[in-house]
């Protein structure tokens, strides 16, 4: 039995986009005063930040690729060791 520990993947990108959408709706209703402007500014900022964050699917794909490469390297190392 191996002691493989998996890191939980949280979809921060989705959460930021949802937060941004809610703020956007609130900001539109309050756009006639400075509070609404600030909310719309925060909405724009969270939208831009979410563009630079990897989504859950991308994180999972990267983890699979890393695992595949690691397993491949270990199998090749074991095969080379057996040939000696």
Instruction: Supply the range of the domain harboring residue 24.
Output: 11-53
Query: Looking at residue 38, what is its pLDDT?
Result: 92
Residues 49 and 68 reside in one and the same domain: no
Residue 29: inside a domain: yes
Residue 63: inside a domain: yes
Residue 4: inside a domain: no
Query: Looking at residue 81, what is its pLDDT?
Result: 80
Query: Looking at residue 55, what is its pLDDT?
Result: 80
Asked if 59 and 6 count as a contact pair (C-beta separation under 8 A), the reply is no
Residue 17: inside a domain: yes
Measure the CA–CA gap between 76 and 84, rounded to whole angstroms: 13
Q: For each of the chain's 84 residues, which pLDDT tens digit applies?
A: 456 666 777 778 888 889 999 999 999 999 899 998 999 999 999 988 888 887 878 878 888 888 888 888 888 888 888 776
- Domain tally for the chain? 2
User: For the chain, what is the radius of gyration of the CA atoms?
Assistant: 22
**pTM confidence score:** 0.60
């Amino acid at each position: 039995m191996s002691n493989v520990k998996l890191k939980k993947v949280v979809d921060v990108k989705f959460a930021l986009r949802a937060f941004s959408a809610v703020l956007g709706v609130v900001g539109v209703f309050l756009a006639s005063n400075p509070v609404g402007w600030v909310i719309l500014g925060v909405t724009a900022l969270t939208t831009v930040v979410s563009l630079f964050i990897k989504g859950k699917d991308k994180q999972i794909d990267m983890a699979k690729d890393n695992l595949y490469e690691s397993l491949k390297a270990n199998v090749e190392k074991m095969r080379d060791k057996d040939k000696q």
